[in-house]
Amino acid sequence: MNWYLKVLKQYADFQGRARRTEYWMFVLFNLIFAIVAMFLDRTIGTTLGGLPYGVIYILYALAVLVPSLAVGVRRLHDIGKSGWMLLVSLIPIIGAIWLLILFVTEGNTGENKYGPNPKEISA
């Protein structure tokens, strides 16, 4: 949960690097909270037509949009790639697979042009 809160505290920080742990823990908690928001929408009855989500989910998704982009950019910085590589996800199927491979790749050891290695800082 600390990793999720760390990302939210760095709300629009597109500078620096993010460890794999930081990124994937944020993704995990983001998924859990999104499922809870969809469940609340269905329970309260605020779903939109026949869709499984509604107002609560949409508000949550909008609230974490910028932090999600920021942590994704910082994760790409950790492996020495530009944040613009997120746009590769616009390529159907192959783009998402390539981005997944980049996100699970271990970060560069030592300092790179985006900053010091966050793994060495925390150790």
What is the reported pLDDT for 1? 82
Domain count, the chain: 1
| Phi and psi, residue 112, nearest 5° | -125, -175
Contact 54, 35 (CB under 8 A): no
Residue 35 sits in which domain range?
2-122
What is the reported pLDDT for 123? 56
Q: What is the DSSP letter of 115?
A: B
Angle, vertex CA 90, rays to CA 89 and CA 95, nearest 5: 40
Q: Which residue has the higher pLDDT, 2 or 123?
A: 2
Give me the sign of the Cα torsion angle 112, 114, 115, 120: negative
Structure tokens given for 38:
């969809």
Comparing C-alpha atoms, which of 82, 80, 31, 37 is closest to residue 55?
37
| Phi and psi, residue 44, nearest 5° | -75, -25
The pLDDT tens digits of the residues spanning 93-110 come to 999 999 999 999 998 888
* Position 49 pLDDT exceeds 90: no
Residue range 70-94: average pLDDT?
94
